Amino acid sequence: MKWKDVLVEIVIPVYNEQEVLEKSVTTLRSYLQDHFPYRWRITVADNASIDRTWEIAQRLQDTYPDVKALHLDKKGRGRALRYAWTNTDADVVSYMDVDLSTNLKSFLPLVAPIITGHSDLAIGSRLARGAVVTRQWKREIISRFYNLMIKFSFFNAFSDAQCGFKACRADVAHRLLPLIENNEWFFDTEMLLLAEHNHLRIYEVPVEWIEDLDTRVKIVKTATEDIRGLMRVKKTFFKGGGLLAPVVQPTIEEVVEVEDVSAVK
């Protein structure tokens, strides 16, 4: 496939984001129009908002041909990403948080290694060398401690599991999604652990990141979910699970048959 034909989908999962959704989408559109060389589409994935978020998402879809709106009846960032990434015709799927905490200049470096075939997944990292992060010390300590927990448990190579700035080849995502059990905040970590467990190539981009003080993340609830998730995944790997189904390559006979049919047409 020629690079100019590649379609990149940017999913923005949202829950009760009526105050910032429209501004964030228009900001992202402007950046993509001015600086992004590939075909793109923005998808707003509303997971059970009870404010005007879904109404705004529908209006954006009606206003811009490159914006799509999806609605789910149940909450969960992972659930929203799973649905959006499953129901897409894009070649590369990605997502970013609606607050645009990560500087958009990092988006092209995020997806380029996937499009060129260098990597299967790419993640923004607030902990990699060169990253510039502005956030409260309490959340900085929690983030670093969580990533150290992952490191001690899995000896993983990636540095930042939960930065809301990730991309993946669509065919790889479609193979990974059935293995991911979590539908909320642990979704990211589980996806990356499964990817490394299956020897997929993960590329890290150090990002410039500014904390959103109006975050919807509940620290205690999320931390409990993460710890349980890590224990579950560790148990799964210990039992020999978490492996991707092998990609079935066509046999010589099947290839010849397809070529014969094409020749007839």
Nearest to 82 by CA among 186, 236, 158, 197: 186
In this predicted structure, what is the pLDDT of residue 140?
Answer: 84
Over its C-alpha atoms, the chain yields an Rg (Å, rounded) of 19
Task: Name the amino acid, one letter, at 109.
Answer: P
At residue 41, the 3 state secondary structure works out as strand
In this predicted structure, what is the pLDDT of residue 246?
Answer: 83
Q: How confident is the chain (265 residues) per 10-residue block, as mean pLDDT?
A: 82 97 98 97 97 98 98 96 97 97 97 96 95 86 90 96 96 98 96 98 96 66 88 97 81 53 49
In this predicted structure, what is the pLDDT of residue 255?
Answer: 46
Q: Which of 46, 97, 188, 226 is catalytic?
A: 188
Number of domains in the chain: 1
In this predicted structure, what is the pLDDT of residue 258?
Answer: 47
Alpha helices for the chain (secondary structure H)? 21-35, 53-63, 77-86, 107-115, 137-154, 170-176, 187-197, 219-238, 252-264
- Tell the residue number behind the tokens 């990141």, with chain if given: 209
Q: Which two tokens stand for residue 200?
A: 């997929």
CATH number for position 249:
3.90.550.10
212 is catalytic: no
| CB burial of residue 153 (10 Å; 0-12, 13-18, 19+) | middle
pTM: 0.89
In this predicted structure, what is the pLDDT of residue 169?
Answer: 97
Question: Which pLDDT tens digit goes with each residue over 79-138?
Answer: 999 999 999 999 999 999 999 999 999 999 999 999 999 999 999 999 999 999 988 888
Nearest to 169 by CA among 245, 247, 104, 112: 112
Distance between CA 233 and CA 243 in Å, rounded? Answer: 12
Can you give the residue range of the structural domain that contains 113? 3-264
